[in-house]
Structure 1
Amino acid sequence: MKYPWLYLAVAAFLTACPQNPPPPTLGRPGDFTATVGSSTSIGLRWLKVEGAAAYQLERKVGSGSFSPLVSIPHEMGGPLVQSHTDSGLTPGTRYTYRIRAVNAGLQSEWSTSAEVETPAAASTRYRVSGYWLGASDPNLYLVTDTGVVFSSATVTVNGTPLTYRNPPGSYYAPSLPGATAGTVLNLNITVPEGTITASAAIPQAPSLTAPAADARITENRPLTVTWNYTGPDPDRFYLHLLGDGPLNYVAANISGAERSFTIPADQVVVPAGGRASLFLYAVNDGKASFSGPVLPTSAMGVAASTSVIFDIVPAPPGLPAGAGPRRAPALP
């Protein structure tokens, strides 16, 4: 070689230069599944893709070709799984779906579901779960007997329409006009299999007697909550103790005849900042009033609530968990 030093210099230069980075890619949605929800609906679920802006869904009917169905924005935060319900389908028909992630000109490979077939007969029943109908922020969840969230029903309470929101996958109204204690709420849900109806009266709000507002409660001791209630007993009471950090305790099915409930000592923990909130709901579920294509575990969740804010403070040093306050020894 005439100029060996030049060859070595070029080789050293090429070795030192960074290689061209690989082109950016986007992973495809994992665990993509299709589940029959009813004779006219199919539920779709998939794992979110990091960096995705949206998901493109396509559908194939029978042995036909895939065609675009819907583009769904990527949900930031929350669960790792995202979902969509395809409604208005034809009973007794085979469907196949595929999905890909997209972002800024990038497209992932397609993930394809297994072929599923809607039942020929309209045999689906639905579980209705109402939360705080009559109270603030009323929500109602509608799920088929196969566990698929149904998003295309017409839902009204005393004629007020509830609008479907996804997330969180519920029917919602900012408020129900004229909803006061004693008002009977009439629920009407129209689904492809028929009409679901139920009714329940708004109960009186309970009156908390303990703990008091701004009380100082010592951690790691049982906390007894007491209240007064006027009027007929509700179906149940629902209690929620919460605060920033680890404090989040729920007792959902306290008997409507009870007027006290003790929260276990290991659930009474100091929240960040020390402030805790306790909510107590009186709830009527109207279980016996349901009719139509509905599961027996359905409940309206007609509620009235009260709340109190107080402090949970650390136990004094050396005081065992659950122990009472230290006392001076008695004089001989």
Structure 2
Amino acid sequence: MSRCATNPLPRAPAWCRRPSSTPTKPSAPPPSYCCFWMPTRCSPRSRSATRYRTPASGCGSTAANRRPMKYPWLYLAVAAFLTACPQNPPPPTLGRPGDFTATVGSSTSIGLRWLKVEGAAAYQLERKVGSGSFSPLVSIPHEMGGPLVQSHTDSGLTPGTRYTYRIRAVNAGLQSEWSTSAEVETPAAASTRYRVSGYWLGASDPNLYLVTDTGVVFSSATVTVNGTPLTYRNPPGSYYAPSLPGATAGTVLNLNITVPEGTITASAAIPQAPSLTAPAADARITENRPLTVTWNYTGPDPDRFYLHLLGDGPLNYVAANISGAERSFTIPADQVVVPAGGRASLFLYAVNDGKASFSGPVLPTSAMGVAASTSVIFDIVPAPPGLPAGAGPRRAPALP
């Protein structure tokens, strides 16, 4: 450590402090670059003598024989500049994860949530069972981007048991303090029910979300669709498979989910994809006017249609429950806004949820979400100046 850090401004040396009328001067400069000795004129009435002192020290003569320093503000400014010491930067630290909570997911699972820590590379999670001691459970990679909250589900637990958790952030050799502990007890009986949410189950990229009735993502179920296993991924916290072999329009998808409380089953057919008739590809749609979307559909009506209008910036509108008997839908004028770059995408899904087919420990809000889609890309352009929202083109006034 430098002398600056330990003694940024030492006292004036003895040769400057001693009360002697004989001018003295050090034979060599002081050994510290942190100090600044400057000459000053000490002028007893009888004679003038040059003395050396620090800015804060006296000349050594009596008060009666001292003359005030000329231009003291100049000396103080120079002294402040030359006596400034470089400061050592504080060592890097990591904040501890905040708002750490534990929530019962089921009789065998507990959901954990915490606020992400800036600069963390991972989180070390420890668990205590009953009145035992904490022991390492898992290291969880820090999720870059996305929401400020990160989560983890601890599964395979024993019903009717109390568990205590704590977590800390780590990065290389840095470790934060442990979070406050979160304690919760799993229920003794297997009474949990689950909400199943299929995310566009179909021939390719099927996703399915499984959440308990307390809102905790359940990650240790066994999930299959027509015998094809779906594997849990976190993020995004869903069960996924790259494809469902042999699945085409009209194919019935049979869902089977094994959880500690039993087996959940459901089925729904893959619908036909709708055919959009308006807006046309590359059309120019004026902002702030109602946008009517129309389509054709062949085959039995689906359970519902799902419409999504989006683009860069503020454009993001969803109509999730359009009746399966409809063939048109009007997007409100205030939702038709110009996206960054002007290009907008509209997706239309035909969806079969198979709600009536669900059985097992399942919530009535569950849906398979078996879907087929179509899309179109077009432009949304600014309205002409002075045209009120929702107004049509200006017309010439009628002749008298």
Shorter-chain TM-score: which interval? over 0.9
Displacement of 1:137: 2.9
How has the CA–CA distance of structure 1 residues 319 and 93 changed in structure 2, closer, same or farther, with 3 Å as cutoff? same
How has the CA–CA distance of structure 1 residues 154 and 18 changed in structure 2, closer, same or farther, with 3 Å as cutoff? same
Q: Percent identity?
A: 100
How has the CA–CA distance of structure 1 residues 267 and 12 changed in structure 2, closer, same or farther, with 3 Å as cutoff? closer
Partner in structure 1 of residue 61 of structure 2: none
Q: Secondary structure at the match of 2:79?
A: helix
Q: Distance in 2 between matches of 1:331 and 1:9?
A: 84
Is the CA contact (8 Å cut-off) linking 1:56 and 1:70 kept in structure 2? Answer: yes
What CA deviation, in whole Å up to 9, does each residue of 1:193-248 have, x standing for no partner?
A: 11110000011111111111111111000001011111111100000001111111
Moved more, 289-298 or 3-12: 3-12
Residue 270 of structure 2 corresponds to residue 189 of structure 1: no
How has the CA–CA distance of structure 1 residues 10 and 273 changed in structure 2, closer, same or farther, with 3 Å as cutoff? closer
How has the CA–CA distance of structure 1 residues 9 and 246 changed in structure 2, closer, same or farther, with 3 Å as cutoff? closer
Q: Distance in 1 between matches of 2:274 and 2:140?
A: 43
Displacement of 1:330: 3.8
How has the CA–CA distance of structure 1 residues 143 and 13 changed in structure 2, closer, same or farther, with 3 Å as cutoff? same
Q: Report runs of 4+ in structure 1 exceeding 4 Å deviation.
A: 1-15
What CA deviation, in whole Å up to 9, does each residue of 1:79-114 have, x standing for no partner?
A: 000000000000000100010000120111111333
Displacement of 1:138: 1.9
TM-score, structure 1 as length reference: 0.95
What CA deviation, in whole Å up to 9, does each residue of 1:168-197 have, x standing for no partner?
A: 111111221111111000001111111110
What CA deviation, in whole Å up to 9, does each residue of 1:10-63 have, x standing for no partner?
A: 997995112323222111000000001000000000000011110000000000
Higher relative contact order (CA 8 A, sep 6+): 1
Displacement of 1:164: 1.0
Q: Secondary structure at the match of 1:295?
A: coil
How has the CA–CA distance of structure 1 residues 3 and 69 changed in structure 2, closer, same or farther, with 3 Å as cutoff? farther
Partner in structure 1 of residue 213 of structure 2: 145
Is the CA contact (8 Å cut-off) linking 1:135 and 1:303 kept in structure 2? Answer: no
Alignment RMSD, CA only? Answer: 3.1
Is the CA contact (8 Å cut-off) linking 2:343 and 2:380 kept in structure 1? Answer: yes
Is the CA contact (8 Å cut-off) linking 1:34 and 1:113 kept in structure 2? Answer: no
Q: Distance in 2 between matches of 1:78 and 1:9?
A: 51
What CA deviation, in whole Å up to 9, does each residue of 1:128-174 have, x standing for no partner?
A: 00011015432111000000001111111101111111111111112
Gaps of 5+ in 2: 1-68
Moved more, 169-178 or 89-98: 169-178
Larger radius of gyration: 2
| 1:124 counterpart (192, 195, 206) | 192
Q: Which has the higher strand share?
A: 1
Q: Distance in 2 between matches of 1:139 and 1:126?
A: 16
How has the CA–CA distance of structure 1 residues 11 and 276 changed in structure 2, closer, same or farther, with 3 Å as cutoff? closer
Moved more, 76-85 or 322-331: 322-331
In the TM superposition, what are the counterparts of 1:31-70 in structure 2 within 5 Å? 31-70=99-138
Displacement of 1:250: 0.2
Q: Secondary structure at the match of 1:51?
A: coil
How has the CA–CA distance of structure 1 residues 158 and 137 changed in structure 2, closer, same or farther, with 3 Å as cutoff? same
Q: Distance in 1 between matches of 2:73 and 2:399?
A: 101
Q: Distance in 2 between matches of 1:116 and 1:81?
A: 20
Partner in structure 2 of residue 206 of structure 1: 274
Q: Distance in 2 between matches of 1:7 and 1:182?
A: 92
Residues matched between the structures, number: 332
Displacement of 1:331: 4.4
Q: Distance in 1 between matches of 2:269 and 2:301?
A: 12
| 1:6 counterpart (67, 74, 83) | 74
Residue 198 of structure 2 corresponds to residue 108 of structure 1: no
TM-score, structure 2 as length reference: 0.79
Is the CA contact (8 Å cut-off) linking 1:59 and 1:95 kept in structure 2? Answer: yes
